[in-house]
Structure 1
Amino acid sequence: MGAAALDKDLDDLAATARAALVREIDTSGAWDDDPVWQETFEAVPRHLFVPYYYVGVVGGYERRWGESPDPRTRERWMRGAYEDTPLATRLRDGELLSSSSQPSLMARMLAELRVEDGNRVLEIGAGTGYNAALLAHRLGDDDLVTTVDLEPEITESARQHLAAAGYHPAVVTGDGTRGVPERGPFDRIIATCTLTSIPRAWLAQCKPGARILAPLATGLIVLTVVDATHAEGCFLHTPAYFVPLRGQTRPDPETLDLDAVPRRARDHELFRFLLALTRGTLDPHEAFAVWDRENQPERRRYGITVDADRAWAWLDKPEGPYNWPLR
């Protein structure tokens, strides 16, 4: 079979696989509240943003490459690009630096961002550029979208992927914790990396009423900005696991002693969320006492408040009996 025929087969596979992914996301209900995202995911080709990625195998990772001379490898690459799974895209010494998030989780986050026509949006964590392309397509104006990442290699490859797909939002190399003040003020900020707290610089670059959506602990927090120093909001019910935000000061990792915690809680996903949210404030036994007393609260009962002097997490209400400073 000639090269042209092979390319056509791969293009046909891309269209079929993308349509199947969109149906799968639709079935999950991810964009029920904002169905305009369905057309966006139908239009933006994910495979252009993952020319290669890594799949975990015994003993390490296997690289799948869209330019492989083996047609079967190229087919596996294309099919994998449209699976509803996160894809590892950049490794360093075995550490994951960047990835393309699970598409259905991306769709849910974008729908919860509640983007409106004309909004200026800042994305923290450029990744492959795919999320910025989805935002640019949805808004119909590349200049409304800014994406920032600390790693020059990541921003350069994101810029190339975006151009290949026909999108040209602002791609900035810099510390995402500082935002991008010269591109603001923003109506929406979305982070695609896990935070330990909410950078106050973001609030100062937002319009009153702006919406911030970010992974924190193992959940997704949605904040409404009141003014340059105040924001508040609750977690979504959705679990979320992302690469940590580089540039943000993080406490040193510590091994938690869970021996005093009953077995039913140790591996319970909601207890692990509370542990992550209160790390450095509650020890596991204290966290279990709260979790058990409050009947294993769902993420939606937790929230975060940021004011001029402090930032804290809370259960049920900001000034209630359960609140913990964010580190």
Structure 2
Amino acid sequence: MNAVALAAEQVPERHYTHHEGRGPTPHRSNPVVIHRELATLDLQPHMRVAEYGTGSGYSTELIARLVGPTGEVTSLDIDAYLTRWASLIHHERGLDNVRCYTADGTAGFRERAPYDRVVAWCTPALLPKAWTDQVADGGLIVAPLPIADVPNMTFPVGGWTGRTASPAPPGSPWPGGHRTTGCTPAPAAPWTGS
């Protein structure tokens, strides 16, 4: 069993997605996709992580458990209702290494940068420059990007040295003129939305 699966055994997904005080959260990602993307991030203790798209807060707690009490998780969402509820649930569950902020994640969050890892549950039109500027040397970004008309695909973007990605060849379809390195598309499993 991998580290993400072990963390998931300790985190009550339904407590986040259908909290008794709030009801169901419509803005949440498929748990199968969350687990896959977190496994791709290869999170380690002590890491600093930026998460764009707080949603229910479920993925945030998984990240917090994977980076441990000495790691830091900064989670942003444009919806204040979601960040307030996620913060409340994190407090209820005793998480001290998580901070949720209401902000547009495409601008990043310089106040707590640099980040060892960045994960996004939203799909920006292009890879935001702020993310590449705020990821630490050797860091990794995992985000869904609209590279082609192929549904359910995500690509980890990595290989940062000097905080720049590898330049894309002329005429290539890579967003923002950068290309991903060492990436294999991974199709998402069907989700029932429950």
TM above 0.5, yes or no, is yes
- For the residues of structure 1 that align with 2:53 and 2:188, how far apart are their CA atoms? 15
Amino acid at match of 1:210: G
Report which structure shows greater RCO (CA 8 Å, sep ≥6). 2
Matching residue within 158, 181, 185 for 2:86: 158
Partner of 1:221: 155
- For the residues of structure 2 that align with 1:239 and 1:192, how far apart are their CA atoms? 15
Amino acid at match of 1:222: P
Q: TM-score, normalised by structure 2?
A: 0.78
> For 1:185-264, what aligned pairs fall within 5 Å after superposition?
185-217=114-146, 218=151, 219-224=153-158, 225-231=160-166, 232-234=179-181, 235-240=183-188
Indicate conservation of the 8 Å contact 1:123/1:147, yes or no: yes
Which has the larger helix fraction? 1
Q: Which runs of 5+ in 2 are unaligned?
A: 167-178, 190-194
Secondary structure of 2:86's aligned partner? helix
Say how many residue pairs are matched.
168
CA deviations over 1:47-100 (Å, ceiling 9, x no partner) = 221235xxxxxxxxxxxxx47xxxxxxxxx9xxxxxxxxxx723xxxxxxx22x
Amino acid at match of 1:89: T
Identity %, equivalent residues: 30
- For the residues of structure 2 that align with 1:104 and 1:117, how far apart are their CA atoms? 22
Indicate conservation of the 8 Å contact 1:184/1:205, yes or no: yes
When residues 193 and 123 of structure 1 are mapped into structure 2, their CA distance, relative to the original with a 3 A threshold, is: same
Shift of the alpha carbon at 1:117?
Answer: 2.1
Q: Which runs of 5+ in 1 are unaligned?
A: 1-25, 27-34, 53-65, 68-76, 78-87, 91-97, 242-327
Partner of 1:132: 60
Shift of the alpha carbon at 1:44?
Answer: 1.0
Shift of the alpha carbon at 1:142?
Answer: 6.7
- For the residues of structure 2 that align with 1:140 and 1:116, how far apart are their CA atoms? 8
Amino acid at match of 2:93: A
Matching residue within 6, 11, 18 for 1:44: 11
Matching residue within 44, 49, 52 for 1:121: 49
Indicate conservation of the 8 Å contact 2:41/2:141, yes or no: yes
Shift of the alpha carbon at 1:36?
Answer: 1.5
Q: TM-score, normalised by structure 1?
A: 0.48
Which has the larger strand fraction? 1
Quote the RMSD (CA, aligned, Å).
2.2
- For the residues of structure 2 that align with 1:191 and 1:164, how far apart are their CA atoms? 24
Bigger Cα Rg:
1
